[in-house]
């Protein structure tokens, strides 16, 4: 049952104005919309919780994460029902995303049972060293403090209330204050109920987790500017993320803002692969492009091909594959409106030719594909900007040199993909140093939609793909965002953290 309230330090509270959800189907619900007063209460509680929670043993933190996963699974049917109504996502997608969400929590539980993430170091004392002795110095990673997390629109479970940012922060020993996304407030509330049940069952401080619902910018502004917040995790638009990033930088005490802002994820279809299997790649690209109405941050929005008859065949096959995709419901009315505006902007750009595009209105989206020469693409920076949704742009370059020029012109990306056969090795070797400098993940002969949650994954990249190129929001390395190194010099054994003794 939904109560439409915030969860703050173990209590369901109202406060602030009220907003009404706008589901894709079914009835809407009223929710409290928080502001500075709710933020202050939640962050103060998180600060109070930090002292005991950060000192909790890794085994007890792991058990807490496991219990959150159990409580989410216990509410599986309820989450699928409300999630589908609010977002329009199909049952299978939500059930899979729920599995990813609980899998992330359990992955971090296992990860912290090992001390690898603590990066333990010890330089033993050298009292007889000349000309000066060396003290005993030990180092480990320690949690930074209360963390603010912004729920994402496109992943109501895996990147939202108890998603990867929350899981990794709790694993690190940091309390979390979540700003729920207004596109799926009911889903967020039920997940918060699961976290609250885990808090009660494990006996941790109730301030370790709070969920504040709301609309508008004031809530997010108050959260990132609160002096007790020590870091921020965000997944969303470039404009929204950059605004929050700037606020974090302008604070009296600046804090890190870990924003994952999306990208166009270019696919480089190299000549031998184009000649041998261009039609198959076109179908695969179309499937990846339109999956989930294109609402993935790793959606492959651009594909590069060397112009010629094989490129003509690729375009024809892509057109045929995209034409078979029906209209899909988007996550929110605003997202659908922004998609149409982006599609129209691309269509009106100089040198751009329509491959396929059909009208759509309301909350639905139909895929659109356009093509442009490499020269025109290079001359128009706006064509390299993400359009969130099922829009693809085929860039026809004249030769390998122009393909490399396009690669060098790219801004930071989450992913870059090489579609290549054995005959493309030399060109791929030429492109790889460029692409690995542009992206956090480089793929061969696949498509970037679908991010494996594992030890080696990097989901981030140079700006504007993310605001911190040294971080990832997926995989166990995500925990590093909420830790900082501390050295202990000549401390008595009894004062050292247990792991350093």
Instruction: Considering only CA atoms, give the Rg of the chain.
Output: 24
The helix/strand/coil state of 186 is helix
Using DSSP's 3-state secondary structure scheme, residue 61 falls into: helix
Side-chain-side CA neighbours of 169 within 13 Å: the count stands at 32
Sheet of strand 483-489: strand arrangement:
121-123, 137-143, 483-489
Name 475's Cβ contacts closer than 8 Å, sequence gap at least 6. Answer: 452, 453, 454, 455, 456, 457, 458, 459
Instruction: State how far the Cα of 352 lies from the Cα of 349, in Å rounded to an integer.
Output: 6
At 362 the three-state DSSP class reads coil
246/475 Cα distance (integer angstroms):
26
φ/ψ of 233, rounded to 5, equals -115, 135
Residues 405 and 304 sit within 8 Å (Cβ to Cβ): no
d(CA 82, CA 162): 16
Q: Which residue has the tokens 């609309």?
A: 215
Residue 145, sorted as left (phi over 0), alpha (psi -120 to 50) or beta, turns out to be left
Report the alpha-carbon distance of residue 199 to residue 196 in Å, rounded. 5
For residues 441 and 287, the answer to whether their CB atoms sit within 8 Å is no
CA-CA-CA-CA torsion sign (240, 241, 244, 249): negative
The position carrying tokens 């508008």 is 216
Helix and strand numbers (H, E) in the chain are 14, 21
Looking up tokens 């939609």 gives: 449
Coil, strand or helix: which one is 144? coil
Provide the token pair at 290. 């339109």
Could you tell me the two tokens for 235? 């997944």
Q: Which residues are known catalytic residues?
A: 260, 297
**What does each C-alpha distance from 38 to 12, 169, 184, 365 come to in angstroms?**
11, 21, 20, 36
Contact assessment for residue 210 and residue 46, using Cβ atoms and an 8 Å cutoff: yes
d(CA 179, CA 321): 39
**Of 260, 212, 265, 263, the residue nearest 235 (C-alpha):** 260
Could you report how far apart the first and last alpha carbons of the chain are, in Å? Answer: 48
């Amino acid at each position: 049952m939904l109560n439409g309230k915030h969860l703050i330090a173990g209590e369901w509270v109202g406060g602030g104005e009220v907003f009404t959800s706008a589901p894709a189907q079914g009835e809407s619900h009223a929710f409290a919309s928080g502001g500075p007063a709710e933020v202050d209460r939640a962050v103060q509680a998180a600060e109070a919780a930090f002292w005991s929670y950060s000192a909790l043993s890794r085994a007890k933190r792991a058990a807490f994460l496991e219990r959150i996963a159990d409580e989410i699974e216990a509410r599986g049917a309820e989450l699928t029902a409300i999630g589908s109504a609010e977002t329009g996502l199909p049952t299978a997608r939500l059930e899979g995303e729920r599995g990813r969400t609980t899998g992330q929590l359990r992955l971090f539980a296992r990860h912290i049972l090992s001390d690898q993430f603590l990066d333990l170091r010890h330089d033993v004392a050298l009292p007889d060293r000349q000309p000066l002795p060396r003290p005993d110095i030990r180092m480990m990673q320690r949690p930074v403090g209360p963390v603010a997390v912004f729920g994402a629109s496109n992943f109501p479970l895996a990147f939202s209330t108890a998603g990867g940012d929350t899981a990794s922060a709790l694993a690190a020993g940091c309390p979390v204050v979540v700003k729920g996304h207004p596109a799926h407030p009911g889903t967020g509330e039920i997940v918060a109920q699961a976290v609250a049940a885990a808090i009660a069952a494990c006996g941790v401080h109730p301030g370790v987790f709070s969920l504040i619902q709301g609309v508008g910018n004031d809530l997010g502004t108050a959260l990132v500017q609160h002096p007790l917040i020590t870091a921020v995790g965000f997944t969303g638009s470039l404009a929204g993320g950059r605004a929050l990033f700037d606020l974090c930088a302008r604070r009296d005490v600046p804090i890190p803002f870990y924003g994952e802002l999306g990208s166009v994820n270019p696919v480089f279809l190299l000549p031998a692969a184009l000649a041998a299997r261009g039609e198959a790649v076109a179908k695969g690209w179309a499937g990846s492009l339109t999956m989930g109405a294109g609402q993935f941050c790793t959606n492959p929005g651009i594909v590069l091909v060397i112009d010629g008859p094989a490129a003509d065949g690729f375009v024809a096959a892509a057109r045929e594959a995209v034409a078979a995709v029906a209209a899909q419901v988007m996550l929110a009315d605003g997202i659908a409106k922004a998609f149409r505006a982006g599609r129209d902007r691309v269509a009106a750009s100089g040198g751009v030719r329509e491959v396929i595009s059909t009208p759509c209105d309301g909350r639905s989206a139909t895929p659109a594909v356009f093509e442009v020469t490499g020269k025109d693409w290079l001359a128009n920076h706006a064509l390299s900007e993400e359009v969130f949704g099922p829009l693809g742009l085929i860039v026809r370059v004249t030769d390998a040199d122009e393909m490399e020029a396009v690669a060098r012109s790219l801004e930071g990306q989450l992913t870059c993909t090489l579609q290549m056969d054995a005959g493309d090795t030399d060109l791929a070797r030429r492109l790889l140093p460029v692409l690995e400098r542009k992206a956090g993940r480089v793929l061969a002969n696949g498509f970037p939609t679908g991010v494996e949650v594992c030890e080696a994954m990097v989901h981030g990249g140079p700006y504007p793909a993310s605001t911190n190129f040294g971080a990832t929001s997926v995989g166990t390395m995500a925990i590093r965002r909420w830790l900082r190194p501390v050295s202990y010099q000549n401390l008595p054994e009894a004062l050292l953290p247990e792991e350093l003794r």
